[in-house]
Amino acid sequence: MHQPFYKDLWTGQYKLPWTRLHALKDYAGMVRILDEFPKIHQTFNLVPSMLVQIEEYAAGKASDPFLDCALLPAEDLSEAQRAFILKYFFQANVGRIIRRYPRYQELHEKQDRLSTQDLRDLQILSQIAWFDEDLLVRDPELAALVRKGRDYSLEDQKMMGRKQLESLGMVLPVYREFAARGQIEISTTPFYHPILPLLCDSDIAGIAHPGVPLPRRFQFPEDAFEQLQRARVYMQEKLGTAPVGLWPSEGSVSDHAIAIAAECGFTWAATDNGVLARTISREATPEVTYKSYIWQQSQLEMRMIFRDHFLSDLIGFQYSGMGAEEAAAHFLEQIRRNADGRESLVPIILDGENAWEWYAANGRPFLRELYRRISEAPDLEALTVSEALAKFRPEPLQGIFPASWINANFDVWIGAEEDNQSWNYLLDARLAYDRATNAAPEDRALAYEEILISEGSDWNWWYGPEHRSDNRPEFDELYRDHLANVYRALKLDPPAALSHPILREQPGEFHEQPTNRIHPTLDGKVTSFFEWSGAGRYRPDPRSGAMDGGVAPAREMFYGGDFPGPGPDGHGQLYVRLDGAAKAAFGIEFETGPAKTEVVTGTIVEMSAPRDGNRFRVTVKPLPSGGTAAGSSPQAADSAQQILTPSTIPADGWIDIG
């Protein structure tokens, strides 16, 4: 089970809800179903960075605007929050999830004209649809909520929020329980899910794919060690046992990566039989795949298994279109045919969450049918990996071909223009960390945490030509935010390039008009996710906006107002926010002249002035010698560079608010 690290450590907010939603729908229920099938033993691979997020949600400490919007009374939703709900609350499998609930489908079809009651129904159904299949039947309150179907009340909404916390709190305990009784084994993955071979040496991608374009060389095996060691320690602390098994992120292996894993205490690892084929230079037939192996180098060793790629992908990608009985029968027939009467170790390894939303009833009918047939079969036994390895004598491997489970190379994460740009940005941040030896220990610790997060595989999953998602822009922005946070933690200015998407777009300035009124609190920080939601957004062209040897007045500007509205002239108030601002005296100027501006400087700069025209710009002036910015607070970043010559934002022209 794996999800990216969606939390921005700098703001404390979760940028996407998928860890919470999959934790509701999949993680506890996939273990709890084994209560019905005591003969079925399984291995569950848990990624520590996912569990960290689930823990925070279960404790009620997560700052998640998606959950906030689901729980806020529909009557109190702002225009920005309504727009947010319409954008994100239909992001679900239409055929298997949305259409299952008639009212949810009805709202999906009319989503541009929703009443207050429509919105409350959407708030509840968009969450209920992600609850565990069996819990919706077993829990009387949730079952009643499903039966009600529509016209939900505020009390229903509160109950739905309470049930989410209860459900999220079940996840870690159920794994501890089933591991303690011996029915499951828990393996793990490097803490933030990095591609270990590429951390050890990114140039190794050229072995798996000769001639692939490569970024500047990233070579930090010490980070690979840290990611692995942290994972074992965390799992020991939270689940009561240090895993001996490793699923390297995306099945990515190399001799260097396996050696580090062995040094950290792992005794077995798994990858794909496509990697096995390239290792032994022959086709990975069932006779070859259905064995255990032992990797040995320099007095280190690692037991290894190789997933049956074809059979695993049948469950992951094909059987969702078949009936449960037909799919289960076909799967076991394939295993028996491949084994051909031999005693065989058949590794079936697949994604623990994303497959099931494509199945009827979240895959539960299929899993029950499969587990029943295995339990009743005299020739089949479902074992944990460690149990299976104890039964089979391993065959030796003197080395492993460097590759991942996808096409036995690393092309998903490196080689495309976007991929390579992201690696270069990561290398720049990593080197900046190494140079910042005089930074305070707590600042270096935060910066290193952000580096480890940025090393995760998920960011590059969405770069390059291979994958598409409605959330690609959010992944891109979050990755760049994590890298920018490295510099912020070290009291350094993030490079201007990090304010521009890595996803391909035309270079130059970026300008997005306001979509809603805003009325933020001027306190020098982002008080709430929604206080600037709907604001206009302006990002200067980094090629022309820098002055004084590269010092730009601000990385990004947000603006908007409560106009038309109250004020001495009836025009309302203009609000401006600057992110990544330099040290300077800021003000607001209309075409009629400078405005009386309230300025508060903290981790961001926030300003307000009475609107006095249809076009404005921000004025930027040097501070007096030894002076401080007006309204500055102790939160103001010491790392901000000082402006030496006057300028404006934008550098030329005005921002139209007419």
State the pLDDT at residue 505: 55
Q: Which of 227, 234, 241, 243 is nearest to 193 (CA)?
A: 227
Residue 633 reports pLDDT greater than 70: no
pLDDT category at 55 given cuts 50, 70, 90 is very high
Instruction: Let me know whether 520 and 605 are in one domain.
Output: yes
- Same domain? For 542 and 470 the reply is no
Judged against a pLDDT cut of 60, whether residue 565 lies above it is answered with no
Mean pLDDT along residues 375-388: 98
| Confidence check: pLDDT of 566 > 80 | no
Q: What is the pLDDT of residues 225-273, one digit of tens each?
A: 999 999 999 999 999 989 999 999 999 999 999 999 999 999 999 999 9
Residue 154 lies in a domain: yes
pLDDT at residue number 641: 56
pLDDT attached to residue 545: 38
Picking from 472, 451, 615, the residue whose alpha carbon sits closest to that of residue 538 is 615
Q: Could you please report the per-residue DSSP string of 509-551?
A: -EEE---S------SSS--STTTTTT-EEEE--TTTS-BTTTB
List all residues 6 or more positions away from 99 whose beta carbon is below 8 Å from its beta carbon. Answer: 105
Residues 529, 645 within the same domain? yes
Indicate whether 124 pLDDT > 50.
yes
Q: Output the pLDDT for position 551.
A: 54
243 and 331 in a common domain: yes
Handedness of CA 146, 152, 154, 155 (dihedral sign): negative
- Residue 401 and residue 208: Cα distance in Å, rounded? 8
Average pLDDT, the chain: 91
How many domains is the chain built from?
Answer: 4
- Within a domain: 1: no
C-alpha 658/C-alpha 656 separation (Å) is 6
Q: How confident is the model at residue 634 (pLDDT cuts 50, 70, 90)?
A: very low
Confidence of residue 532 (pLDDT cuts 50, 70, 90): confident
pLDDT of residue 630 exceeding 90, the answer is no
pLDDT tens readout for residues 161-198: 999 999 999 999 999 999 999 999 999 999 999 999 99
644 pLDDT tier (thresholds 50, 70, 90)? low
Statement to judge: residues 575 and 631 lie in one domain:
yes
CATH number at residue 482: 1.20.1430
What is the rounded distance in angstroms from the CA atom of residue 147 to the CA atom of residue 168? Answer: 22
Residue 410, in any domain of the structure: no
For the cut 90, the answer to whether the pLDDT of residue 528 exceeds it is: no
Residue 3 lies in a domain: no
| Same-domain status, 452 and 545 | no
**pLDDT band at residue 547 using 50, 70 and 90 as cut-offs:** very low
Residues 653 and 545 in one domain: yes
d(CA 290, CA 308): 8
Please tell me the predicted confidence (pLDDT) of residue 543.
42
Q: Are residues 168 and 310 in the same domain?
A: no
Residue 589 predicted with pLDDT over 60? yes
pLDDT, greater one: 112 or 616: 616
At 515 the pLDDT is 79
Domain that holds residue 356: 189-397
pLDDT in tens, 316-348: 988 988 999 999 999 999 999 999 999 999 999
Distances (CA, A) of 304 to 115, 182, 348: 57, 21, 14
Inform me whether the pLDDT recorded for 91 exceeds 70.
yes
Question: How much of the chain, in percent, has pLDDT values that exceed 90?
Answer: 79
403 in a structural domain: no
Distance CA 511, CA 168 (A): 40
Instruction: Give yes or no for a contact between 573 and 561, defined as CB atoms under 8 angstroms apart.
Output: yes
Cα first-last separation, the chain: 50
Categorize the per-residue pLDDT at 428 as very low, low, confident or very high, splitting at 50, 70 and 90: very high
Same domain, 167 and 230: no
Structure confidence at residue 580 (pLDDT): 82
- Is residue 645 in some structural domain? yes
* Predicted local distance difference test score (pLDDT) of residue 623: 83
Q: Higher confidence at residue 367 or residue 549?
A: 367
Structural contact between residues 215 and 424, judged by C-beta atoms closer than 8 angstroms: yes
- Say yes or no: 460 and 567 in one domain: no
Does the pLDDT of residue 632 top 70, yes or no?
Answer: no
Give a yes or no: residue 178 inside a domain.
Answer: no
User: Mean pLDDT across the stretch 569-573?
Assistant: 70
pLDDT score of 548 more than 80: no
Domain boundary among 138, 172, 206: 172
Which of 435, 466, 499 is at the close of a domain?
A: 499
Please say which residue of 140, 172, 204 terminates a domain.
Answer: 172
pLDDT for residue 284 is more than 90? yes
Instruction: Round to whole Å and give the CA distance between 171 and 23.
Output: 7
Domain shared by 390 and 427, yes or no: no
- Residue 569, pLDDT above cutoff 80: no
Q: Is residue 405 part of a domain?
A: no
Res 642: pLDDT = 62
Q: 121 and 157: one domain? A: yes
Contact 581, 554 (CB under 8 A): yes
